[in-house]
Amino acid sequence: MDIIDGLVGEHAVLLTLIDQIEQLSLHTPNLDELKRAVSLFGVPLRQHADIEDNVLFPAVDTQLDLAISCHQEHREIHAINRQFQRCASLVEGRTLLLEALARERKHFLREETELFPLIRKVLKKEQLDSLGRIWAQKRKIQLTALTEDNGPLAPF
């Protein structure tokens, strides 16, 4: 398992949370409730972006402008989320939040379809695996136990 496998897996979970936040934003009349939910969601979202910004992108940003552009998108999304947290009106807050969620979906898709495939071409498998071990350490996952050859998988 390499770092891109890990990051794409995180996208799947984050996208589920984005769907949930979007539904809440459309139905709740309570701005504070929405802010609390977005604040909780912001924790794994920032951790994910931090791993990309500090572990993956530095390995390729001298070769790939797209990595720099994705880093910039992180900053823009965080800025909209900060603006949302300062907002006092539900209508304005909902507009800002829906803008942030749309950008997050688009950003994940751009990484999955453009940036990550390019990174797989630029970096060697050993580099991707090595970065995957750093990702696992940061996520407190015992990757070695998962990748040891324990024989054929048992059927379900």
52 contributes a contact to Fe ion by CB under 5 A:
yes
Nearest distance from residue 4's CB to Fe ion, in Å?
Answer: 10
Residue with Cβ nearer Fe ion (35 or 103)? 103
Q: If you search the block for the tokens 């998988």, which residue do you land on?
A: 153
Give the nearest distance from C-beta 76 to Fe ion in angstroms.
11
If one asks whether residue 104 binds Fe ion (CB under 5 A), the answer comes out as no
- Go through 76-107 and write b for each residue having 16 or more CB atoms within 10 A of its CB, e for each that does not: ebeebbeebeebeeeeebbebbeebbeebbeb
Q: How far apart are the first and last CA of the chain?
A: 22
Residue 2 binds to Fe ion (criterion: CB under 5 A) = no
22 contact partners, CB below 8 Å, separation of at least 6: 98, 101
Contact window for Fe ion (CB under 5 A) among 38-46, 50-58, 117-125, 132-140: 50-58
Site size for Fe ion (CB under 5 A) = 2
Residue 97, CA distances (Å) to 26, 83, 121, 125 in order:
10, 9, 35, 38
Is 2 or 52 the residue whose CB approaches Fe ion more closely? 52
Using CB under 5 A, which of 2, 101, 111, 128 touches Fe ion?
111
Q: Which residue, 33 or 76, has its beta carbon nearer to Fe ion?
A: 76
Nearest in space to 128 (alpha carbons), one of 148, 143, 113: 143
Residue numbers at the binding site for Fe ion (CB under 5 A): 52, 111
